[in-house]
Amino acid sequence: MSGMTAVAVEPFQLRRDDGDLAAGVQALSEQLKRATLDTVLAKANRVLVRKGATGAGAFQTMKPRPVDWYCFDADDNAVRDWYPQGLTCASDAGTDGGTYVVSWYYKPETGAERGVRLSFLNTATLRYRHVLLVRARPDGDIAPIDIHAGGIAWYGDLLYVADTAHGMRVFDTRQIFEVDGDGKTTIGRKGGVYNAFGYRYVMPQTGAWTSAGGARFSFAAIDRTTPVDTLISGEYVDTPGTYGRVARWPLESDGSLRADAGVASASDAYRLPEAKIQGALSHDGTWYLSQAAGATRNGTLIVVGDKVVERPYPVGPEDLTCVRDKKTLWSVTEFAGRRVVYGVPL
């Protein structure tokens, strides 16, 4: 297996495309009460199980074994309409604390689209809560966002969510709103009351970066060891003999992409050494790649540094993040019955 091969950066361009998103958020703020992220975490209504049995079974073949892991509650572990995909953490954002964020996409066997939700996990209290991502319209109404959300990255106050064919959607942790209805099967405003499929909190999209060069956006991460902090994006490809690419995008101090006349260009790009890469992270010059092998076979963690090393990984590994002060690499598994957020040594 070869390592990372540099490729042209020209296909990796993103154009700022916020449209009427700000107007929608402003209209929503006039109707609903804004909630802080601290409030969402303080009112978390689901229980994490630290080092639970779900993870213990998934890690039997791993070397090295995880240093820590957290399991979702029984309902979230078993549900077959929602699938966890993206993962980021407070270390990416540049803050202390044991907060992790997981993105889930809705894949119903029947029924209407419900979009994307985020799970905010507080590992200090072993509690978490789901927040629904929405598009706020200029008239103040809301609608679900129908994307795969295969990756998520947190920098400062901003959350970047990968939108496979289109680029990156942006959400702001300072823009979370509490809905006032309890309807579990509807979304939107009716009779002056807002519902969001039973979720108490919604987070409206605040920005968008649309692909202008043909690249795909399957996963995301943050590198804080590059000369300028960068957002990582990458492409999932499952065709044998065809490999995806990753790119790094310079970030401004406020979390936005560094852009010229509204167009952001990647600083570097590489061809991945294998297919079926579900997440990629660079840290201190080393690349970490999570590779899937279907719903029944264990995945692989590919470490590309001075040499290429393959490490055993659980079934269904997804996006990657790292906790820098603890030198640990974290991922999340997607399949029902074996979902867990886990960390291994870098």
Q: How many CB atoms lie within 10 A of CB 285?
A: 11
Start-to-end CA distance of the chain, whole Å, equals 20
Q: Is residue 248 a contact partner of residue 223, using CB atoms and an 8 Å limit? A: yes
Give CA separation, 326 vs 68, 93, 174, in Å: 11, 15, 27
What integer pLDDT is reported at residue 62 of this predicted model? 85
Residue 206 pLDDT grade (very low, low, confident, very high; cuts 50, 70, 90): very high
Buried b (16+ CB within 10 A) or exposed e, 192-214: eebbbbbbbbbbbbbbbbbbbbe
What integer pLDDT is reported at residue 1 of this predicted model? 61
Q: Map out the domains of the chain with their CATH numbers.
A: 5-345 (2.120.10)
CA–CA dist 102, 85 (Å, integer)? 7
User: Which range is least confidently modeled, 45-49, 106-110, 283-287?
Assistant: 106-110
Q: Is the overall model pTM greater than 0.95, yes or no?
A: yes
Nearest to 206 by CA among 14, 12, 29: 29
What integer pLDDT is reported at residue 140 of this predicted model? 95
What integer pLDDT is reported at residue 201 of this predicted model? 98
Q: Which two tokens stand for residue 319?
A: 């996006």
150 alpha carbon, distance to own chain's centre: 6
State pLDDT tens for residues 187-204.
999 999 999 999 999 999
pLDDT at 238 over 70: yes
State pLDDT tens for residues 272-308.
999 999 999 999 999 999 999 998 899 999 999 999 9
State pLDDT tens for residues 112-134.
899 999 999 999 999 999 999 99
pLDDT at 153 over 90: yes
Strand (E) or helix (H) holding 218:
none
Strands 127-136 and 201-211 turn out to be parallel
